[in-house]
Amino acid sequence: MTEPLLRRLHARGEQLTVGALPWVAPVYRAMPQVAEVIEFPFQHGGLQFKARRTLARRLEGRFQAAYVLPNSLKSALLPFLADIPRRVGYLGEARVGLLTHRLKNPKDKPPMVAFYSALSGEVGVGQDRPRLALPDADIERAVQARQQVRGGYYVFAPGAEFGPAKRWPHYGELATQLDAPVLVLGSAKESAIAEEIVAHAPGRCINLCGKTSLLEAFALIAGARSVISNDSGLMHVAAAFGVPQVALFGSSSPLHTPPLNDKANVLWLKLECSPCFQRECPLGHLKCLVDIEPGRVATLLS
């Protein structure tokens, strides 16, 4: 979702360094316009002021501008401590004194690409498609290492970090209706979900959750015939590579976080209760996802 902003900044001559936590840093290494990626040594949660001050001292004097994408106080703290002259971001939690150029948060949930791209200060920002790229040799190497043929397998991404209200429950049944192997990708936390899918369709699926690096997962997505996923990070990765995909939406909305890909098919039932944006179905039935039948998805893949 942030790549179109970086592309805009690069196009007007800015040399880009991205600071990111280790788990997301590989995403930015797959963006040709990014010259350098600095992996932050911070843990998830907590201010960790001492660690931020130490890193800020190393960065002081290197940069003319900082674009602060998250809305948290701690995200704005590092550029402030590094004394970067121009610090751009949305008004968030107690950040007025930390930012030099502040945008008001929109009242409604806007499309995320436009939300981030507006930080460029340019008018007319819209839904540019995020783009990722890997060398063909890297894709072929990853595909062959899993004993697959490029374009000869499907990828399932059945997880969703936000919670079960975004997880379609019929991947196992879908796998029995497909005519090619299935690689199941995700984090180690999603391995149990993948094992259920494998058990439902023995011999058809390979559980790779927690068994690949993020860049290898990217390469396997780029080499797939099609990707089937929930509304998740890997859904946006597939879109950025321009891979054919089916994106399944439940508690969230494709109006807010759509896969920006001409080859994407979005399935969203939009019941009276959706989108609720809840981690778990507040009504206990999860009909927004349960009622998306596997046969309907399979038809989109034929």
Domains and CATH numbers, the chain: 3-120 (3.40.50.2000), 137-301 (3.40.50.2000)
Letter string b/e over residues 42-67, b meaning 16 or more CB atoms within 10 A of that residue's CB: beeeeebeeebeebbeebeeebeebb
pLDDT band at 220 (very low <50, low <70, confident <90, very high): very high
Q: Please choose, from the candidates 297, 291, 148, 126, the residue with its C-alpha nearest in 3D space to the C-alpha of residue 228.
A: 297
pLDDT at residue 126 greater than cutoff 90: no
Q: Tens digit of pLDDT for each residue in 15-60?
A: 999 999 988 898 999 999 999 999 999 887 778 999 999 999 999 9
DSSP for 268-302, written as a single string: E---TT-----SS-TTS--HHHHTS-HHHHHHHH-
User: Looking at residues 71-81, what average pLDDT do you find?
Assistant: 93
The percent of residues in the chain predicted with pLDDT above 90, rounded, is 81
Q: Tens digit of pLDDT for each residue in 221-255?
A: 999 999 999 999 999 999 999 999 999 999 999 98
Q: Determine the pLDDT at residue 23.
A: 86
Q: Tens digit of pLDDT for each residue in 162-182?
A: 888 899 999 999 999 999 999
Element (H, E) at 249: strand 245-249
Give the C-alpha separation, 69 to 272, whole Å. Answer: 33
Q: Determine the pLDDT at residue 108.
A: 76
Q: What is the pTM of this model?
A: 0.83
Q: Residues 108, 97: contact at Cβ < 8 Å? A: no
Cβ burial, residue 171 (10 Å; 0-12/13-18/19+): buried
pLDDT at residue 112 greater than cutoff 90: no
Contacts of 155 by beta carbon, 8 Å cutoff, 6+ apart? 182, 183, 184, 185, 220, 221, 224, 226, 227, 228, 229, 238
Q: Determine the pLDDT at residue 46.
A: 76
Q: Determine the pLDDT at residue 100.
A: 96
Sign for the CA dihedral angle at 95, 101, 104, 109 comes to negative
Q: Please choose, from the candidates 9, 197, 21, the residue with its C-alpha nearest in 3D space to the C-alpha of residue 121.
A: 9
Q: Determine the pLDDT at residue 17.
A: 98
Q: How far is CA 71 from the centre of its chain?
A: 17
- Joined tokens for residue 124: 């007319």
Element (H, E) at 59: helix 49-59
Letter string b/e over residues 72-92, b meaning 16 or more CB atoms within 10 A of that residue's CB: eebbbbbbbbbebeebbbbeb
Q: Residues 27, 132: contact at Cβ < 8 Å? A: yes
3-state secondary structure 116-166: HHHHHCCCCCCCCCCCCCCCHHHHHHHHHHCCCCCCCCEEEECCCCCCHHH
Cβ burial, residue 17 (10 Å; 0-12/13-18/19+): middle
pLDDT band at 160 (very low <50, low <70, confident <90, very high): confident
Q: Determine the pLDDT at residue 137.
A: 97
Q: Tens digit of pLDDT for each residue in 180-206?
A: 999 999 999 999 999 999 999 989 999
Task: Output the CA angle 172-178-179, nearest 5 degrees.
Answer: 140
Q: Please choose, from the candidates 129, 108, 106, the residue with its C-alpha nearest in 3D space to the C-alpha of residue 118.
A: 106
Average predicted confidence (pLDDT) for the chain: 93
Q: Please choose, from the candidates 38, 241, 229, the residue with its C-alpha nearest in 3D space to the C-alpha of residue 138.
A: 241
Q: Please choose, from the candidates 298, 145, 143, 166, the residue with its C-alpha nearest in 3D space to the C-alpha of residue 234.
A: 166
Q: Determine the pLDDT at residue 128.
A: 83
Q: How many CA atoms lie within 13 A of 6 on its CB side?
A: 24
Give the C-alpha separation, 244 to 225, whole Å. Answer: 7
Q: Determine the pLDDT at residue 58.
A: 96
The residue type found at 168 is: W
